[in-house]
Chain A
Amino acid sequence: MKNLRKQNRKRPRPSENIDCRRDAGKKTKITHYDEGELDCFRRRALYSSVVLIVFFAIIITRLWYLQIQHGEEYRLLAKNNRVRNLQITAPRGNILDRKGRDIVTNRPSFNVVWVREDNKVDDELIKKMARLLDIDISELLTRMRKMAGTPGHIPIRLADDIEWSKVAYIENNRMNLPGIKIEVLPRRVYHYGNLASHVIGYLGEISRKELDKADPEIYQGGDQVGKMGLERLREADLRGEKGQHYMEVNARGFEQRNLKGFEPMPGNDIQLTIDVDLQRAAEEMMMEADNSGAVVAIEVNSGRLLTLTSSPVLELDKFIGGISYKNWNAMLANPHHPLINKVVQGQYPPASTYKIVTALAGLAEGVIQPETMIYCPGFYKFGNRTYRCWKHSGHGAVDLQRALSESCDVYFYQVGQRLGVDRLAGYARRVGLGKKTGVEMEHEKKGLIPTADWKKQRYNKVWQEGETLSVAIGQGFDLVTPLQLALMTATVANGGTLYKPSLIETVRNPDGKIIEQFTPTVLDRLKGQDKNLQLVKSALIEAVNGKHGTGRRARLKNITVAGKTGTAQVVRLKQYKHLKEEDIPYKYRDHAWFTCFAPAEKPEIAVSVIVEHGLHGGSTAAPIAKAVLEQYFGDRLDDPEELTTVVLPGRLLITEN
Chain B
Amino acid sequence: MLRFDRRLIHNFDWVMVVVLLLVSAMSLASLFSSTWAGGPDPSPIFYKQLYFFLLGFALILMTVCIDYNELEKLAYLAYGGICILLLYTNFFVSTVAGTQRWINLGFFNLQPSEPAKLIMVLVLASCYAYNDVGTSGFRIRDLIKPGILTAVPFILILIQPDLGTALMLGIIFVSMTLFAKLRLGTMAILASAGAGGAFIGWKYLLKDYQRRRIETFLHPESDPMNHGYQIKQSKIAVGSGEGFGKGFMEGTQGHLNFLPERHTDFAFAVWCEELGFAGSLFFLSCYFFMLLWGMYIALTARDKFGVMLAFGLVMLIFWQAVINLFMIMGFLPVVGIPLPLFSYGGSSLMTTLLAIGLLMNIRMRRFQKPEVR
Contacts of A44 in B (CB 8 A): 179, 181, 311
- Indicate which residue in A8, A17, A45, A48 contacts B369 across the interface (CB closer than 8 Å): A17
Q: Which of A7, A21, A67 contacts B280 (CB 8 A)?
A: A67
Is B7 a contact of A19 with CB atoms below 8 Å?
Answer: yes
Q: Which residues of A contact B291 (CB under 8 A)?
A: 52
CB-based nearest B residue for A256: B256
Q: Does A571 contact B (CB under 8 A)?
A: no
Q: Which of B137-157 contact A (CB under 8 A)?
A: none
Does A123 reach chain B (CB closer than 8 Å)? no
Which one of B238, B272, B299, B308 has the highest number of Cβ atoms from chain A below 10 Å of its Cβ? B299
Contacts of A4 in B (CB 8 A): 296, 299
Assuming A20-B368, A48-B311, A71-B241, is B292 touching A53 (CB within 8 A)? yes
What chain B residues lie within 8 Å of A53 (beta carbons)? 288, 292
Task: For the complex formed, measure the closest distance between the CB of A82 and the CB atoms of chain B, giving whole angstroms.
Answer: 5
A25 to B: closest C-beta gap in Å: 10
> How far apart are the CA atoms of A122 and B205 in the complex, in Å?
38
Q: Which residues of B contact A24 (CB under 8 A)?
A: 369, 371
Binds A, one of B39-47, B113-121, B127-135, B196-204: B127-135
Least distance between B295 CB and chain A CB atoms (Å):
5
Q: Are A49 and B292 in contact, CB atoms less than 8 angstroms apart?
A: yes
User: In the assembled complex, which residues on chain B have CB atoms less than 8 Å from the CB atom of A56?
Assistant: 284, 288
* B259-313 interface with A by 8 A CB criterion: 272-273, 276-277, 280-281, 284, 288, 291-292, 295-296, 298-300, 302-308, 310-311
Contact flag A41-B307 (CB < 8 Å), given A14-B370, A33-B370, A52-B295: yes
> Contacts of B315 on A, CB cut-off 8 Å?
48
Indicate if A72 sits at the interface (CB-CB under 8 A): yes
Residue of B nearest to A68 (CB): B277
Q: Does B235 have its Cβ within 8 Å of any Cβ on chain A? A: yes
- Whether a CB of chain B sits under 8 angstroms from the CB of A138 is no
Given contacts A12-B367, A52-B291, A55-B322, A67 and B299 within 8 Å (CB-CB): no
Closest to A33 in B: B370
Of all chain B residues, the one with the shortest Cβ separation from A49 is B295
A15 vs B369: C-alpha distance when bound (angstroms): 7
Of A48, A49, A79, which is within 8 A of B179 by CB? A48
**Closest residue on chain B to residue A73 by CB atoms:** B239
Q: Smallest Cβ distance from A110 to chain B, in angstroms?
A: 29
- Does A252 make an interface contact (CB < 8 A)? yes
Docked CA distance A306–B233 (Å): 65
Cβ-closest chain B residue relative to A5: B299
Instruction: Say if the beta carbon of B221 comes within 8 Å of chain A.
Output: no
Closest chain B CB from A523 CB (angstroms): 64
The answer to whether B257 touches A81, judged by C-beta atoms less than 8 angstroms apart, is no
Shortest distance between the CB of B244 and any CB in chain A (Å): 10
Partner of A14, one of B130, B296, B369: B369
Say yes or no: B239 contacts A70, CB within 8 Å: yes
Given the known inter-chain contacts A38-B304, A52-B292, please indicate yes or no for A67 contacting B238, CB distance below 8 A.
Answer: yes
Q: Is the CB of A75 within 8 A of B242?
A: yes
Chain A residues with CB under 8 A of B239? 66-67, 70-71, 73-75, 77-78
> CB of B185 within 8 A of chain A?
no
Q: Contact partner of A252 among B7, B257, B281, B302, CB < 8 A?
A: B257
Asked whether any CB of chain A lies closer than 8 Å to the CB of B124, the reply is: no
A40's partner among B67, B135, B369, B372 (CB-CB below 8 A) is B135
- The answer to whether A250 touches B256, judged by C-beta atoms less than 8 angstroms apart, is yes
Q: Is B318 an interface residue (CB 8 A)?
A: yes
Measured between alpha carbons, how far is A249 from B252 in the docked complex, in Å? 10
A78 near B240 with CB under 8 A, answer: yes
Chain A CB within 8 A of B237 CB: yes
Check if A30 sits within 8 Å of B307, measured CB to CB: no
Q: Any chain B CB within 8 A of the CB of A218? A: no
Q: Do B272 and A67 touch (CB < 8 A)?
A: yes
A11 contacts B by Cβ under 8 Å:
yes
A-B contacts, 26 of them at CB < 8 A, read A17-B368, A17-B369, A19-B5, A26-B3, A28-B69, A29-B72, A31-B304, A31-B370, A37-B135, A38-B307, A40-B181, A41-B308, A48-B179, A52-B295, A53-B292, A55-B322, A63-B280, A67-B241, A71-B239, A71-B243, A74-B242, A77-B240, A78-B273, A81-B236, A82-B252, A256-B256
A residues bordering B, Cβ < 8 Å? 4, 7-8, 11-12, 14-15, 17, 19-24, 26, 28-34, 37-38, 40-42, 44-46, 48-49, 52-53, 55-56, 59-60, 62-64, 66-68, 70-75, 77-79, 81-82, 248-252, 256
Q: Could you tell me which B residues sit within 8 Å of A by CB distance? A: 3, 5, 7, 67, 69-70, 72-73, 129-130, 132, 135, 179, 181, 233, 235-243, 252-253, 256-258, 272-273, 276-277, 280-281, 284, 288, 291-292, 295-296, 298-300, 302-308, 310-311, 314-315, 318, 322, 325-326, 329-331, 367-373
